[in-house]
Structure 1
Amino acid sequence: ARQIMVVGVGGSGPAVTYAGNRFLLLGLKAYMCTDFYLMLMAASMLSRQDVVLAISNLGTTREIVETAGIAREKMARVICITNNSLSPLARMSNPVLVTASREVTLPEEAVASLICQIAILDALFALIGQAQGEKSRETLNGMGKVMVKAGVMREPAE
């Protein structure tokens, strides 16, 4: 993909940030949107070379479904992480990565859905890292050197 746009709102917001950061660590151009206005602006510039990763527990959140619809109109690929494989979001996504958490009724249960989303993201990142092979290691080493030079990280111990 030319670029990856990761979108989600509310309880899925932390998973969006996590995903965007991890894609960057793999050396992929990624940006995160948890604001609907920014989603609309960014989606309007998508093309068939782009991917949207939409994260929504119920798969019915209007902002996410609308953004995914615009992405499809622009011929971008839409991938979703959701707990509802029959949701409007799932119907416009390929592939659909399904979590296994209960429907959220209490704040504590929102944490369970977030943990499920992050588990799927970690599996996805492991697969991408394996597929990239040595490129992933080179990207991380290059980032590490920049961080050390900027003084925000120490040299790794040998």
Structure 2
Amino acid sequence: MSQRPDLIETARRTIRMEIEAVQDLLPRLDTSFVKACEMILDCKGRVVVVGMGKSGHIGNKIAATLASTGTASFFVHPAEASHGDMGMITKDDIVLALSNSGTTAEIVTLLPLIKRLGIRLISMTGNPESPLAKAAEANLDARVAQEACPLNLAPTSSTTASLVLGDALAIALLEARGFTAEDFAFSHPGGALGRRLLLKVENVMHAGDTLPQVQRGTSLRDALLEMTQKGLGMTAVLERDGRLAGIFTDGDLRRALDKGIDVRQALIDEVMTPHGKTVHGEMLAAEALKIMEDNKISALVVVDAEDRPVGAFNLGDLLRAGVM
């Protein structure tokens, strides 16, 4: 009975080889990549991704990523394209064709028709001298030195490289378009992700009588009473004209006690955080959460265009709303 190979070492070798394949992509990002991006940005139609076998599975994912990040895209099986689905592609579209060899028969068969219809072509191949690469206006070089498969046959490193190159293309286009978190939200309206991305600060904040607020000059003792009554673990501090002067939180209270401040005698002005971080009601709640995480704070004041507090919320509110 033959001895089993070291399964962990095999897995590590596979991962190392695929990491190397991805790293090898970096020096090959050149004017062809820029050309492909410019073609897609200028495109009046959709990006139609085609690919056979494992390349087809990768192409499906690339099309989905493009579509969810601001680039209209869908996948067409090249064999089906030869039997009617070519009618789904218009002269305003761009074809992104994936083939590691660059000689896949089902794709090469489509090249004359793509050219006759005047459809622009981008290829992603492992062979820049292949018929597919030479037919394309821009070829994305996805070649790998070796597949992770010990037989050098099963598509492994090559499909990983193509997937990563597709992600690089999608994100480059996303940034070039100025695609925002709100844009992303409208591409993902369903389920928990949709709730997280579509909710705005105004949908989760406490406003009106539930907004904890005190004036400058208020005693710390009365400020703590306001915090207790409103239950947010914080209070906004207002200037006489109603603008935000500062914020006082449970954390500020702990720091005040550490300094030995007399809670019965101190004024809120002595212990508040001047002004503090603020957000606006129309901001996405997910963006506000990032501000809180980046600044390690647990509550935010919501202000209007004149810097007057109109609401407040804490991490508990975001948790209950399904934003985190």
Q: TM-score range by the shorter chain?
A: 0.7 to 0.9
Aligned match for 2:170, one of 115, 125, 138: 125
Q: Which has the larger radius of gyration?
A: 2
Q: Please, which runs of 5 or more residues in structure 1 have no aligned partner?
A: none
Say whether the 8 Å CA contact 2:78–2:107 is kept in structure 1.
no
Moved more, 75-84 or 64-73: 64-73
Pair 35,74 (structure 1): closer, same or farther in 2 beyond 3 Å: closer
Following TM superposition, by how much is the alpha carbon of 1:15 offset from its aligned partner in structure 2, in angstroms?
0.9
Whether 1:9 aligns to 2:175 is no
Aligned match for 1:139, one of 179, 183, 200: 183
Q: TM-score, normalised by structure 2?
A: 0.43
Following TM superposition, by how much is the alpha carbon of 1:140 offset from its aligned partner in structure 2, in angstroms?
0.8
Aligned to 2:117: 74
Deviation digits for residues 9-50 of structure 1 (CA, Å, limit 9, x no counterpart): 012122111111111102332221235123553334534311
1:130 maps to a residue whose letter is E
CA RMSD of aligned residues (A): 2.5
Moved more, 9-18 or 104-113: 104-113
Q: Quick one: distance in 2 between partners of 1:41 and 1:88? A: 23
Q: Quick one: distance in 2 between partners of 1:139 and 1:67? A: 34
Whether 1:157 aligns to 2:202 is no
Aligned to 2:129: 86
Looking at both structures, which has the greater relative contact order when contacts are Cα pairs under 8 Å and sequence separation is at least 6?
A: 1
SS of the equivalent of 2:110 reads helix
Say whether the 8 Å CA contact 2:185–2:194 is kept in structure 1.
no
Whether 1:112 aligns to 2:157 is yes
Q: Quick one: distance in 2 between partners of 1:127 and 1:40? A: 34
Pair 26,66 (structure 1): closer, same or farther in 2 beyond 3 Å: same
SS of the equivalent of 2:67 reads helix
Give the number of aligned pairs: 154
Pair 69,19 (structure 1): closer, same or farther in 2 beyond 3 Å: farther
Aligned match for 1:18, one of 61, 79, 83: 61
Aligned match for 1:64, one of 102, 107, 120: 107
Whether 1:52 aligns to 2:218 is no
Percent of pairs with identical residues: 25
Say whether the 8 Å CA contact 1:79–1:95 is kept in structure 2.
yes
Deviation digits for residues 111-139 of structure 1 (CA, Å, limit 9, x no counterpart): 11100101111110111011110x34332
Q: Quick one: distance in 1 between partners of 2:74 and 2:122? A: 15
Q: TM-score, normalised by structure 1?
A: 0.83
2:323 maps to a residue whose letter is A
Aligned to 1:97: 140
Q: Quick one: distance in 1 between partners of 2:145 and 2:158? A: 7
